[in-house]
Amino acid sequence: MCGIVGYIGSKQAYPILMKGLYRLEYRGYDSAGIALLDGDLKLYKTKGKVTDLEGFVSGKSIEGTIGIGHTRWATHGEPNNVNAHPHFSQSQNLAIIHNGIIENYASIKEELIKRGYKFSSDTDTEVLIHLIEDIKNNENVSLDEAVRIALNQVVGAYAIVIISKDEPNLLIAARKGSPLVVGIGDDDYYLASDAAPIAEYTQDVVYLNDEEIVSVRRGEEIKIRTVKNKNKTPYIQKLELNLTELEKGGFDHFMLKEINEQPSSILDSMRGRLNAKKGIVKLGGIIDYEQKMANAKRITIIACGTSWHAALVGEYLFEDLARTHVEVEYASEFRYRNPIINEDDIVIAISQSGETADTLAAIELAKSKGATIIGICNVVGSSIPRATHAGTYTHAGPEIGVASTKAFTAQVTILTLMALRIAKMKGTIETSRYFQLLNALESIPNKVKETLDVDDQIRTLARTFTYARNFLYLGRGYNFPVALEGALKLKEISYIHAEGYPAAEMKHGPIALIDSEMPVVVIATNKGTYEKVISNIQEVKARKGKIIAIVTKGDKDVKKLADYIIEVPETEEMLVPLLATIPLQLLSYHIAVMRDCNVDQPRNLAKSVTVE
């Protein structure tokens, strides 16, 4: 949710911190701040984006070779100058940045107030830094010990970095439930929520585990111990992150770049995993668990948002191909129910960021009931891949636009490969059909490329509907999750109310909404329930709704009825989501741009939802 960054070394910290904050801004962008230590502990923070912070700091003293920075997505306290991070301790000798939520902050705050502490913000974070200082002073312990003791008292999630006026060569950081990476340079160290701010300085990184505290002291090796006071040996990994992937590469927005990357990102998801000629599907990360997956009577898929929509496609795929009973659950609901999960169960957790708090908690619950957890994640080294028994990376590359696009198609690609592999093992698919599907899947990247040609047509269409107040998205079978995903894309970036519905359910209620003002996007490709969907289109037409139809190239029947037609190439029914999603992504993108919305950083949202 929030982005945190820290630097200690021989270089000036300010430019490194600012660049880092820009790279992390996708995580939260309602306020930003930095603290720099140069004799004095200087703290600058403001409501708004990183660029506002830059303006605010302009002309002020930015000296210092040690510092911390933060970009916020508000949880406790509205986004304003005061609630922005960093937060000072009472004496102003310490400052903290924090990503996460301290759930028991209210009771700790009450106690501290009784003891004379004054609070200037509404945040849970300020409570934590006061508590740390209180422990440090009263128990007369070192800063890292005070942090450790304090973290034993708090309930919740955190990634924190603390800077101290009295210790100009030290940063203390810790994590639980929120990510934190340490970059190890030649004579300096970097700290960040993810590797993006670190990649241009060093390839050597240590991903902290939950409940680990790291002391980063200039000129010394980093020291890690747990909140339970157990020393840990840092595990140094090599980063594989291409810096150009973090730039817009000539596109106006990351979202547009990421939509256009899909021919290659889907190919990357399949690379080394699919050989259609030889009939090979090989997902190295799950090889040891394939048999268990094939034996499973049931698979439960947990996810949130767009990843949940991919999970729905996965349900249809596993049922069709592998004849496995599948349940798809919102992770946020699953975690607070009493789900019936046992040791034979396979739970697949899908997440782009690999950090979604609800999905992580759902994984822990399923694990505690003995299930085998398989992850499908995009961000390498993130928390979910480390919490699962096995898994597969989607390899879609960094997704920076808050609205998920290429991650969705990569997730669907992996689910297709998994379902095909399990089907082959179980013998639920005929060999000729298996080869047919592998060939069709292999041709998808080129077909996605072809689909992207509808861009101009969609831009024109977007002009017609820029000021629509509502949208309805309809689809059946494999196209139902596509309808849900199309509606989610539109609402999150253009703020137009949009609903996705199974087309046939429309007559059970939403049909009442249809009049000449209502654009209805129908995914009406030529397989499965095509004829039925045509009847649903008739129902909308009879009520004067405006039909925008996504059809298969060469379609004749829907063309006669629809007001606007967008064609996608012919493919197997189960692969249509990989194509039909593309025009819907473009439609929401162009409408949002025309409405002058901030496409990459839509209001109230953040890329990685590390709070529940």
User: In the complex, which residues of this chain contact ligand M6R (CB under 6 A)?
Assistant: 304-307, 351-353, 356, 359, 402-404, 488, 492, 605, 608-609
The strand pairing partners of 37, in sequence order, are: 41, 66
Q: Is the peptide bond before 86 cis (omega within 30 degrees of 0)?
A: yes
Closer to ligand M6R by CB, 64 or 500: give it. Answer: 500
Minimum distance between the CB of residue 346 and ligand M6R, rounded to whole angstroms?
Answer: 19
- Asked if residues 472 and 498 have their Cβ atoms less than 8 Å apart, the reply is yes
Minimum distance between the CB of residue 492 and ligand M6R, rounded to whole angstroms?
Answer: 6
Closer to ligand M6R by CB, 37 or 488: give it. Answer: 488
Closer to ligand M6R by CB, 351 or 479: give it. Answer: 351
Closer to ligand M6R by CB, 43 or 74: give it. Answer: 74
What values do phi and psi take at 294, rounded to 5?
-65, -35
The CA-based angle 443-448-449, given to 5 degrees, is 100
- Asked if residues 574 and 443 have their Cβ atoms less than 8 Å apart, the reply is no
Strand 204-207 relative to strand 223-226, pairing: unpaired
Minimum distance between the CB of residue 75 and ligand M6R, rounded to whole angstroms?
Answer: 15
Minimum distance between the CB of residue 29 and ligand M6R, rounded to whole angstroms?
Answer: 14
- Asked if residues 395 and 367 have their Cβ atoms less than 8 Å apart, the reply is no
Among positive and negative, which fits the CA dihedral 66, 71, 77, 78?
A: positive
The residues near 51 (Cβ < 8 Å, ≥ 6 apart) are: none
What's the Rg (C-alpha) of the chain?
A: 25
Minimum distance between the CB of residue 397 and ligand M6R, rounded to whole angstroms?
Answer: 14
Burial of 17 (0-12, 13-18, 19+ CB in 10 A): buried
Query: Which strand (E) or helix (H) includes residue 435?
Result: helix 431-442
Cα 195 to Cα 175: distance, rounded to the nearest angstrom: 15
Cα 472 to Cα 502: distance, rounded to the nearest angstrom: 10
* 3-class state of residue 438 by DSSP: helix
Closer to ligand M6R by CB, 367 or 426: give it. Answer: 367
Strands (E) located in 229-277: 231-232, 237-238, 274-275
Cα 159 to Cα 120: distance, rounded to the nearest angstrom: 21
Minimum distance between the CB of residue 372 and ligand M6R, rounded to whole angstroms?
Answer: 20
Closer to ligand M6R by CB, 547 or 605: give it. Answer: 605
Minimum distance between the CB of residue 471 and ligand M6R, rounded to whole angstroms?
Answer: 16
Minimum distance between the CB of residue 602 and ligand M6R, rounded to whole angstroms?
Answer: 8
Closer to ligand M6R by CB, 46 or 352: give it. Answer: 352
Q: Which one, of 304, 526, 332, lies nearest residue 408 by Cα? A: 304
Cα 82 to Cα 86: distance, rounded to the nearest angstrom: 10
Closer to ligand M6R by CB, 214 or 396: give it. Answer: 396
Torsion of CA 241, 242, 248, 249, to 10 degrees: -170
Catalytically active residues are 2, 607
- Asked if residues 190 and 19 have their Cβ atoms less than 8 Å apart, the reply is no
